[in-house]
Amino acid sequence: MSPAPCPRVVALDGDDTLWENETNFVTSYARFRELLLRHVDMPPAEVDRLLLATEKRNLKAYGYGVKGFVLSMLETAIDVTDARIPASDLKEILGLGRWMLEHPLTPIDGAAEVVTALRDAGHEVWLITKGDLFDQESKVARSGLAELFHRVEIVSEKDPATYRRLLERHGVEPADFAMAGNAMRSDVLPVLAIGARAFFIPHPLTWAHEVVQPHPGAAFVELKSLRDLPAALRAMAA
C-alpha cells in the first residue's frame, strides 16, 4: 500500500463548488423584485438591498437555507408594502421557495470526476456543506455524489471553531487537511485561521454575504476551475 498522500484529507464545499445553487437565488431575487414593484415605487436595486439586509439580520434566527430565505422574502414584502401585499402574492413567494427546494440540481462541471480523482490519489474526501439540515441532505442526495465521499458533514456555520471541532472529532491535524470551495468567508479564511490549507475556486455567482476581501498575504491557492484541484494538490505535495 502506498503512503498516505499529503494532505491526507481533502474537503469540498457543496453549494456553487460541486453543484449550482446561487443561480436559483438570483432567479428568486428577480421574481421577488418584479412582484414587489407591482405594489411600490422604488428602484429595483433598492428591493434587492432591503431583501439582503433582512436575510443578514435573520441569519442568527433562521440559519442558512431556502426556508430562512422564504421567511425573509415574506418579511421584506410585508414591511416594504406596509402590510398591503395581498395573500395571493405571499402565496407566490411561498411558491418560489418550493420551486427552489424541488429544483433539480445541476452539478458543476467535472464534479464527479474530480471527487473520484481525489479518491484515486489516496485522499480521504469529505463534503462539508453549510445550511439547513433537511435542505442540505436533500441536495446531497440529489447530487448523486454522496457515495463518492468518505464523510459528509452538514454544519450550520463554517467558522474556525467548526473546522477545529470537525478535525478534532476525526483525529485530523490541520497540516493533514485542505478545504476547497467558492466562498472566501466560509471555505477559505476560517480554514487558513486554523492552520490548514485552502483552495479558492470562485464561482461567477456568489452570494453577497460570502464575498469578503482576504487579508493581504492570505496563503490560499486560487484555481480557475474545480477540474484544476487534483493537479494543484499534486503540485503542492511535490
Contact residues for Mg ion (CB under 5 A)? 13, 15-16, 182-183
Question: Can you count the helices (H) and strands (E) in the chain?
Answer: 9, 6
The residue (of 72 and 186) whose beta carbon lies closer to Mg ion is 186
Give the separation between CA 165 and CA 1, rounded to whole angstroms: 30
The residue (of 29 and 64) whose beta carbon lies closer to Mg ion is 64
- What's the CA angle centered on 74, arms 70 and 80, to 5 degrees? 140
Q: How many Cβ atoms are within 10 Å of 127's Cβ, its own excluded?
A: 23
The residue (of 33 and 227) whose beta carbon lies closer to Mg ion is 227
The residue (of 143 and 182) whose beta carbon lies closer to Mg ion is 182
Residue 130 has φ and ψ, to the nearest 5°, of: -115, 140
CB of 72 to Mg ion, least distance (A): 19
The residue (of 33 and 185) whose beta carbon lies closer to Mg ion is 185
**What's the gap between Cα 87 and its chain centre?**
31
CB of 175 to Mg ion, least distance (A): 24
CB of 209 to Mg ion, least distance (A): 11
3-state secondary structure 60-86: HHHCCCHHHHHHHHHHHHHHHCCCCCC
- Contact between residue 84 and residue 201 where contact means Cβ atoms under 8 Å apart: no
Q: Which residue is nearest to Mg ion (CB)?
A: 15
Give the separation between CA 153 and CA 147, rounded to whole angstroms: 13
The residue (of 11 and 183) whose beta carbon lies closer to Mg ion is 183
CB of 39 to Mg ion, least distance (A): 33
CB of 183 to Mg ion, least distance (A): 5
- Contact between residue 192 and residue 174 where contact means Cβ atoms under 8 Å apart: no
CB of 94 to Mg ion, least distance (A): 25
Q: Which residue bears the cell 414593484?
A: 37
